[in-house]
Amino acid sequence: MAQSNKPIVWGPFAAGGTLTAFLTPALILLTLLAGLGHVPELLAYEALRAFASHGLVKLGLGVVIFLSLWSAAHRLRITCYDLGVRADTLVATLVYAVAIAGTLAAAVYLLRLPAA
Amino acid sequence: MAEQVTRKPYLRELPRTLWFLRHPRYVRYMAREFSCFFIGAYTLMLVLGLKRLAEGPEAYAGFLEALASPGAIVFHLFALAFSAYHSITWFRLTPKAMPVQLGENFLPDGVIAGAHYAGWALVSLVVLWLAGAF
C-alpha cells in the first residue's frame, strides 16, 4: 500500500478550515471593538486572566490556535506553489514550523499565566 | 517503446505568478486562498496577546493600546473581510464535501450550505454575547 503523509497534513487543515470559518470573524470583531475603544468585558485584563486560567479553556485556546495556524500554513504552502514557488519542501518546512512554534509559544504563555 | 518525436510543440505562455489575473474566477480563487495570510497573521497576533496577558496588567494594557493604532484597525478590517470570505466559500463547498442522500434524492445544496450559514451566524452571536460585546 502506498504510504503518504497527506492525511496527517490534511486532517488538521480541514478541521482548522471549519473551525476558522465558524469562529475567526467573531474573534476579529472582538479585538476590533477593543481597538475602537469598546473593549468587550471578557477582554479586560482581570476577566481574561481568570477565564484563561481554567484548564479546559487553556486546552481549548491551544486547540483553536493550533488548528488556525496549521490550516493557514497549509493553505499558504499551496498558495506559494500556485504563485510559482516550486521549492515546496522548503516552503512546507517553514510554514508548518511557524505553525508549531506559534502553538508551543501559546502553550508556554498559557502555562505562565499569573494566578490571581 | 516510445517513438521518436521530432516536432516543435506549441507552448502556451503562462505567467508564472500573475496567471490568476486572466479570469475573474481565478481571482476569486486566489482571494479565497489569500485569506489564509490574514487568518494566520491574526492568530499570531492572538498569541502575542497571550504573551502580554502572561506578562501582567501593564503589558496587557499596552497590547490593548496597540489594537487602537490606525495600522491595527486597518489590519482588522482586511482580516475581517478576508476571514468572512473564507467562511462563505468554505460553507458554500459543504454540499460538495458532504452530500446528504435521502432515499433516491439528495438534500438540496442550498439547505446544507444554508444550515452552515445559520450555524455560523449563531456561533458568532454566542461568542460576541459570551464575551460581553453587547
Residue B113 confidence (pLDDT) above 90 = yes
- Residue B57: which domain range? 18-92
Task: Identify the pLDDT of residue B12.
Answer: 84
Domain boundaries, chain A: 10-111
Q: Where are the alpha helices (DSSP H) in B68-132?
A: 70-92, 94-97, 109-130
Task: Identify the pLDDT of residue A2.
Answer: 63
Residue of B nearest to A71 (CA): B36
Residue A5 confidence (pLDDT) above 90 = no
**Same domain, yes or no, for B24 and B63?**
yes
User: How far is residue A75's CA from residue A68's CA, in Å, rounded to a whole number?
Assistant: 11
Residue B44 counted as domain residue: yes
Residue A106: list chain B partners with CB under 8 A. 46-47, 50
**Same domain, yes or no, for B84 and B104?**
no
Residue A4 confidence (pLDDT) above 90 = no
Instruction: Provide the mean pLDDT of chain A.
Output: 95
Helix (H) or strand (E) holding B105: strand B105-106
Residue of B nearest to A69 (CA): B40
Cell numbers representing residue A22 in the block: 465558524
User: How far is residue B78's CA from residue A24's CA, in Å, rounded to a whole number?
Assistant: 13
Residue A14 confidence (pLDDT) above 90 = yes
**Same domain, yes or no, for B33 and B64?**
yes
Residue B13 counted as domain residue: no
Structure confidence by residue, pLDDT tens digits, B68-92: 999 999 999 999 999 999 999 999 9
Range A22-59 burial, b when 16+ CB lie within 10 A, else e: bbbbbbbbbbbbbbeeebbebbebeebbeebeeeeebe
Query: In the predicted model, what is the mean pLDDT of residues A21-25?
Result: 98
Strand partners, B105: B102
ipTM of model: 0.95
Find residues 30-59 of chain A whose CB sits inside 8 Å of chain B: 30-43, 45, 47-49, 52
The proportion of chain B whose per-residue pLDDT surpasses 70, expressed as a percent, equals: 97
Correct CATH for A10-111 of 3.90.1150.10, 1.20.1260.10, 3.40.630.30, 1.20.1300.10: 1.20.1300.10
Best A38, A63, A75 residue to mutate vs chain B (most B CBs within 10 Å): A75
Helix axis angle, B70-92 to B109-130, nearest 10°: 150
Domain count, chain B: 2
With cell 438540496, the residue in question is B108
Cβ neighbours of residue A66 under 8 Å, at least 6 residues apart? Answer: A12, A16, A99, A103
Find residues 56-115 of chain B whose CB sits inside 8 Å of chain A: 56-57, 60-61, 64, 67-69, 72-73, 76-77, 79-80, 83-84, 86-87, 90-91
**Contact: B124, A26; criterion CB under 8 Å:** yes
Helix (H) or strand (E) holding B101: strand B101-102
Q: How far is A19 from chain B (nearest CA, A)?
A: 9
Task: Identify the pLDDT of residue B11.
Answer: 85
Burial class (CB in 10 A: 0-12, 13-18, 19+), B23: exposed
User: How far is residue A67's CA from residue A75's CA, in Å, rounded to a whole number?
Assistant: 12
Structure confidence by residue, pLDDT tens digits, A32-90: 999 999 999 999 999 999 999 999 999 999 999 999 999 999 999 999 999 999 999 99
Q: Residue B50 maps to which CATH number?
A: 1.20.1300.10
Cell numbers representing residue A98 in the block: 511557524
